[in-house]
Amino acid sequence: MKVKDKVVIVTGAGSGIGNAIAKHFAYHGAKVIVSDINLEKAKKVSEEIVTNFGESLPIKADVANYEEVKNLIQHAVTAYGQLDVLVNNAGVGPKQMAKTAEYTLEDWDDVIAVNQTGVFYGMQLALQQMTQQGFGNIVNIASLAGLKASLNNISYTASKFAVVGMTKSAALEYAKTGIRINAVCPGYTESALLDQLLATRPDMDARLKRIIPMQRYGEASEIAEAVVWLASDSTKFITGQTITLDGGTSL
């Protein structure tokens, strides 16, 4: 992967898929800013990167807070002089899955704030910096739920469809500037969000695996491989695309 010495921010990198993405970038020689709403988790991941791979900084940021995202971008540029890659990975699911008529306003507001508005904040602020530089790369973590219907999950579905649309719109706007923007759409992947889904009913594990042609969940490392590839110099002619990693579920 051609990402050596690139300056990379990964949001929501304190655990799960974000953790795997941050470490995979570091393994390939990137300088990684590990961002998470939980600073202790970010510090732990960053320390592991420094011990095993190379350069890293932990920075606390709530992606639903514009000023904190602004500080995150500025901190990275101050520390390293530029920003090569932003991975908008931070995301949440609803506290309670329910049909649209019974969905809580709290779950709607919370999920949209992080998954949709948070991605917009990250893209807008990173693009301001990348436009000044004349180069840059953004990878947004969407979801299979951004490509097809997801029952009892209206806010998450709406937010992830939005991420796919925002990715395409921004990619078109900035294609001439040397900035590429793509999205990755994981299917059911081993993570805290999957654990939350599995806990909703005793037979959920069996139900999900029946609809996955490969009959297994994705691994965080497999998502990380795709993200680093899209952010690398090996994919210079790819922009505005959604790469789906779902074991064939969308088929």
Give residue 113's identity as a one-letter amino acid code. A
CA distance 156 to 158: 5
The DSSP code for 31 is: E
Is 174 among the catalytic positions?
no
Distances from the Cα of 223 to the Cα of 63, 110, 141, angstroms: 21, 25, 9
CB 229 within 8 A of CB 2: no
Which listed residue (103, 121, 156, 174) is catalytic?
Answer: 156
For residue 11, give every residue at least 6 positions away whose Cβ sits within 8 Å of its Cβ, in sequence order, or none.
18, 35, 36, 61, 63, 72, 86, 87, 88, 89, 90, 118, 122
CB 31 within 8 A of CB 3: no
Distances from the Cα of 27 to the Cα of 50, 56, 60, 194, angstroms: 10, 11, 22, 26
29, containing H or E segment: none
139 phi and psi, to 5 degrees? -120, 120
CA distance 152 to 159: 14
Distances from the Cα of 248 to the Cα of 124, 210, 212, angstroms: 33, 12, 6
Catalytic residues: 156
